[in-house]
Amino acid sequence: MARDGVVLAVEGVSKSFGALAALTDVSLSVRQGEVFSVIGPNGAGKSTLFNVVSGLYAPTAGRVSFLGREITGLAPETINRLGVAKTFQITNIFPEISVGENVSVASQSRAAVSGRLASLWRRADVEARVTELLEAFGLTAKRDELAENLSHGEQRYLEICLALATEPTLLLLDEPTAGMTPGETRGATALIKKIALARGLTLLLIEHDMSVVMGISDRIAVLHFGEKIAEGPPEQIRNDPRVIEAYLGPPEA
């Protein structure tokens, strides 16, 4: 375990796309076992930050380290194998195979046989883990259903199942409740928190829905136009004038 129980350290990360600076000198550190949220209005650079951490983009400047090891610019599959899993804002599953097969292919990624020659003929026994995950998310009855036939809320859960199946230390959740009704959102938020606790996971969560974040986060960072404008526990963020301004616009003169 790294110094001070820091799981993820983002140090001075900037990312530009041509002339557009999506992230400017963003730093944050996520500690072991906490729920850390990144919020901000649309276009604040939240997803870009996730894409840098998970390996889709290499940052223009700065470094990212996971458990004390630098992971800046590594490929997504490499970062995943180190223990970082990511869910997607837009549901990203394997549509035309069954729910059970979806979770199986994700689980076997951590099987001993994975990446070895024997994987050409052997098949890892992932049955127990698949059953457990489907059970935790209430998808047991849908196991043989094609993933594309699930309801939106169920697909969001499957999305999380896929990430969890790779047994991460750090789970990146990109708006896990996107498109859910307020009722579903409450249920999902409670479930995510429960599962994170039970597995000792560290969560990094992106949200633009403030109500989701306030209830579940230990600490919150706020991004605005690619810069971090505040960081602290929920109470502090709720009352920070710069955060209120970013969300509601400048106070009337």
CB closer to another protein, 123 vs 242: 123
- Spatial neighbors of 130 by CB under 8 A, at least 6 apart, are 100, 103, 104, 107, 165
Pairing of strands 35-39, 219-224: parallel
CB of 242 to another protein, least distance (A): 33
CB closer to another protein, 57 vs 94: 94
CB of 1 to another protein, least distance (A): 21
Name the site residues for another protein (rule: CB under 8 A).
Answer: 54, 75-77, 80-81, 85-86, 88, 92-97, 101, 104-106, 108-111, 113-115, 119-124, 162-163, 165-166
CB closer to another protein, 111 vs 244: 111
CB closer to another protein, 101 vs 240: 101
CB of 93 to another protein, least distance (A): 7
CB of 126 to another protein, least distance (A): 10
CB of 102 to another protein, least distance (A): 8
CB closer to another protein, 92 vs 236: 92
Q: d(Cα 51, Cα 59) in Å, to the nearest integer?
A: 9
Which residue type, as a one-letter code, is found at position 62? G
CB of 120 to another protein, least distance (A): 5
CB closer to another protein, 148 vs 245: 148
